[in-house]
Amino acid sequence: MFTGIITDVGKIQQLEQRGDLRARIGTSYQTDGIDIGASIACDGVCLTVIDLGPGWFDVEISAETVSKTNLDAWAEGRDVNLERALKVGDELGGHIVSGHVDGVAEVVSVRDEGDSTRVRLRAPDALARFIAPKGSVALNGTSLTVNEVEGAEFGINFIPHTKEVTTWGRVDVGDRVNLEIDTLARYVARLAEAG
């Protein structure tokens, strides 16, 4: 379980295909406080730590996960949003995020508005109905508020702080981003269908 509040931007140091994809991610986390088997959200995907050392940790990524996320575009040197799992008593600053990506959205426009940046994305049709104005979504692991929705497209506003402490300061048209729908929105839609 996560909050969507990014606490580090890591860098992919190594990628190796060995049946599953194995990635080494450089981090500023104190890795002596991370256990083997711990969950870390990497660009919003909940991954399990299988090895670690000073300033890095390794994860294995199944073919299923690669096929359902933007991790097929990972390359050495790429920056990734990181968040460690929520602990009991931690502040819940974003919204409840599972790290189970629902699909991939595509950035269709990027426009500066003052110091902020307005980004418009297109969600997969099957997920668009779960996205509502002023609702929450997680994009590449970041908890964000939806500004507006038109069909399958929706807008997000990134303030300077978010752009500085995540990978969102380098967003570009055509980028594919991991999309996790707010769990509450999913249940509300399900209840409406049953009613």
Q: Where are the domains of the chain?
A: 8-84, 103-194
φ, ψ at 64 (rounded to 5°): -60, -45
Assigned CATH topology for domain 8-84: Elongation Factor Tu (Ef-tu); domain 3 (2.40.30)
State the Cα–Cα distance between residues 40 and 10, nearest whole angstrom. 11
What pLDDT is stored for residue 18 in this prediction? 86
Between the alpha carbon of residue 168 and those of residues 28, 37, 43, 82, 178, the distances in Å are 18, 28, 11, 13, 13
- The answer regarding whether domain 103-194 maps to CATH 2.40.30.20 reads yes
Listed residue (94, 190, 178, 91) closest to 139, CA to CA = 178
What pLDDT is attached to residue 48?
97
C-alpha atoms less than 13 angstroms from C-alpha of 144 in its C-beta half-sphere: 30
pLDDT in the model for residue 194: 73
The pLDDT value recorded for residue 188 is 76
SS3 192: helix
Tell me if the pTM is above 0.85. Answer: yes
Q: Is-contact 116 158, C-beta < 8 A?
A: yes
Intrachain domains 8-84 and 103-194 with the same fold: yes
User: How far apart, in whole angstroms, are the C-alpha atoms of residue 60 and residue 40?
Assistant: 12
Low-confidence ranges of the chain (pLDDT < 50): none
Query: Rounded to 5 degrees, what are φ and ψ at 166?
Result: -135, -175
Please state whether beta strands 56-61 and 45-53 pair in parallel, antiparallel, or not at all (unpaired). Answer: antiparallel
How do beta strands 79-84 and 176-181 pair?
A: unpaired
Which amino acid type is present at position 187? Y
